[in-house]
Structure 1
Amino acid sequence: MSGQLERCEREWHELEGEFQELQETHRIYKQKLEELAALQTLCSSSISKQKKHLKDLKLTLQRCKRHTSQEEAELVQQMAANIKERQDVFFDMEAYLPKKNGIKGWWVSHHYVSTFLSGVMLTWPNGPIYQKFRNQFLAFSIFQSCVQFLQYYYQRGCLYRLRALGERNHLDLTVEGFQSWMWRGLTFLLPFLFCGHFWQLYNAVTLFELSSHEECREWQVFVLALTFLILFLGNFLTTLKVVHAKLQKNRGKAKQP
């Protein structure tokens, strides 16, 4: 047997030993992963159960508070404070547990749709149809960049304030779009967001008209029009849904005694 073949055989045996170790490590990894998933499910269900009972208890205490003596009122107040403290603990616990996407599901999808739009835009060849839309698109891009800067600056301030108050956790990030926790002080930003949404609709209408132009030969025009329409519908309806939900929540709080 040649020296080179012997060296290959030694390397194979070394790799075989490492492979056995890798299989064992991977088995342990899967076991720990299953244990982690089970613990996450257990924690989430236990927290939900505790929060439901605390909510019922809080309502009961509010009803009892109207017909209590001074000494009993102090006890009710103490229990209410304990409930609030317990809810804060649950809030911190939930920061490390998996969450459903919710109103955020669209904003994640929005990134993929925008990436697709950018790719199609880059493949659109220069021509008379492209030149008709070019200035409008550049103006939209500049406006969108300004709105994103204002949005980031506003979201950062909201997160800093809410973290300081203990209403948000330190793992929260600023995201594109409008979230319910951004409600306070949003009066100046909301018109810019809706203006950007309707500008996307305007881009879609313009591109649909250009796609029916007699000089139009590019497939990108119709695809871009459809993509802008999807962005408008997703952005506008999601933002509108969040605003409506927040208004309903505020009305509900105002009706509470």
Structure 2
Amino acid sequence: MANSELESCLDDWNDLEKEFEQLEAEHKKYQKKLDEMVACQKKCLSSIAHHRYRMKTINETLKKNEKKLTEEEKTVLSDLRRKIDDRKSTFREMEEVLPHKNGLYLSIILGQVNISLLNKADKYSYKQEYEKFKLTVSYVVMVLSFFLTFFDDSRWIDAILHFLLVWYYCTLTIRESILVVNGSRIKGWWLTHHFISTVCAGISLIWPSSWSYLLFRKQYIMFMLYISMLYVMQYYYQSGSLYRLKALGQRHDMDITVEGFMSWMWKGMTFLLPFLFIGYFFQMYNAYILFVLSLDSRCHEWQVFALAFIYLVLCLGNLTTTLIVIRQKINKDGLSLKFLLNKYRFNSQLKQL
């Protein structure tokens, strides 16, 4: 009996040996293809850099001699610039599936580890995980803030909320930097907003349980409860808007929902916009109360004035960015409306003729 079992094991091992030989051959093939892919990536990146340098030289030469050109030559120049712009767009599309260098922030945290996702499905999956992460933490902050409203003085539970926010915003800045490397077009204020919010949460964490802290505590908890509820509202509204625009081909696959008003959020914005402005003015009110507290003789903590300044910066940044986007959208819609009216009048005149 033992001999038959041993023979069976030997037969199984011999079969595995044959399969292992195939595995080794496939792995060598994979390694070779991988080396070829890396070499091809470097060659493509080098060629794109070379093309960009040559195009930059051409642009500089054209700018120097633009005034000397005849009308016919200016027409050729205009056509050439259009071709250059088209080529730049082509390069951006090519770079979506090529490795990118880490920015300064990621280089400090991760070094030069390659975090480029070359597969579009992987990029989209990572973006979806980022969105779920934001929504999940917003729900946790909402529940924790609601729970804290029933306690008058519980500094250690408050510290959990502060630490959660520090971890959340730190993680958010890293995830967003990775998204930028992989083609997501997060720009300007919203990236800066999360860095400032990290500092704000960190200062709140080390604020001693003093007279000023206890006086501001309830307002802070109510603010966090409102902000977390607003984030959840924004997520469902913005993700719905973004999904519809992606389906229509009007937005990029790597666009994300952010804490604010974006140009693609215009339709149906009458519902969400007032809540955004309430949140911004809540930040302004926080800044005012903290500034008043900092002037009181009983206040000896530097955190009070620092937080007043940070809330003021956040409010002004959010408010300014939102108003600029609204103005741009109104101007754009105004031009579109004017174009449609002119087209309607022209068609009416043709019918009369």
When the two structures are superposed, what TM-score results if normalisation uses the length of structure 2?
0.49
Where does residue 209 of structure 2 map in the other structure?
126
Question: Which of 182, 185, 196 matches 2:268?
Answer: 185
Provide closer, same or farther for how the CA distance between residues 188 and 39 of structure 1 changes in structure 2, counting only shifts above 3 A.
farther
5+ unaligned residues in a row in structure 1: which ranges? Answer: 1-25, 54-88
RMSD of aligned residue pairs (Cα, Å): 3.7
Provide closer, same or farther for how the CA distance between residues 206 and 95 of structure 1 changes in structure 2, counting only shifts above 3 A.
farther
Partners of 1:40 and 1:152 in 2: CA distance: 38
Moved over 2 A (4+): 26-43, 45-48, 50-53, 92-102
Please tell me whether the aligned partners of residues 283 and 314 of structure 2 are also in contact (alpha carbons under 8 angstroms). Answer: yes
Q: Report which structure shows greater RCO (CA 8 Å, sep ≥6).
A: 1
Answer yes or no: is 1:222 the counterpart of 2:234. Answer: no
AA aligned opposite 1:169: H
Where does residue 35 of structure 1 map in the other structure?
47
1:5-48: CA deviation from partner (whole Å, max 9, x where unpaired)? xxxxxxxxxxxxxxxxxxxxx999876544344457889x9997
Question: Which of 163, 174, 184 matches 2:246?
Answer: 163
Partners of 1:251 and 1:120 in 2: CA distance: 44
Q: How many residues align?
A: 195
Answer yes or no: is 1:251 the counterpart of 2:284. Answer: no
AA aligned opposite 1:142: L
Where does residue 108 of structure 1 map in the other structure?
191
Provide closer, same or farther for how the CA distance between residues 113 and 38 of structure 1 changes in structure 2, counting only shifts above 3 A.
farther
Where does residue 235 of structure 2 map in the other structure?
152
Please tell me whether the aligned partners of residues 185 and 255 of structure 2 are also in contact (alpha carbons under 8 angstroms). Answer: no
Where does residue 211 of structure 1 map in the other structure?
294
Alpha-carbon deviation of 1:176? 2.1
Partners of 2:191 and 2:291 in 1: CA distance: 26
Q: What percentage of residue pairs aligned between the two structures are identical?
A: 43
Partners of 1:155 and 1:194 in 2: CA distance: 16
Provide closer, same or farther for how the CA distance between residues 51 and 164 of structure 1 changes in structure 2, counting only shifts above 3 A.
farther
Please tell me whether the aligned partners of residues 117 and 224 of structure 1 are also in contact (alpha carbons under 8 angstroms). Answer: yes
Where does residue 258 of structure 2 map in the other structure?
175
Answer yes or no: is 1:117 the counterpart of 2:129. Answer: no
1:107-149: CA deviation from partner (whole Å, max 9, x where unpaired)? 1100000000000000000011101100000000000001111
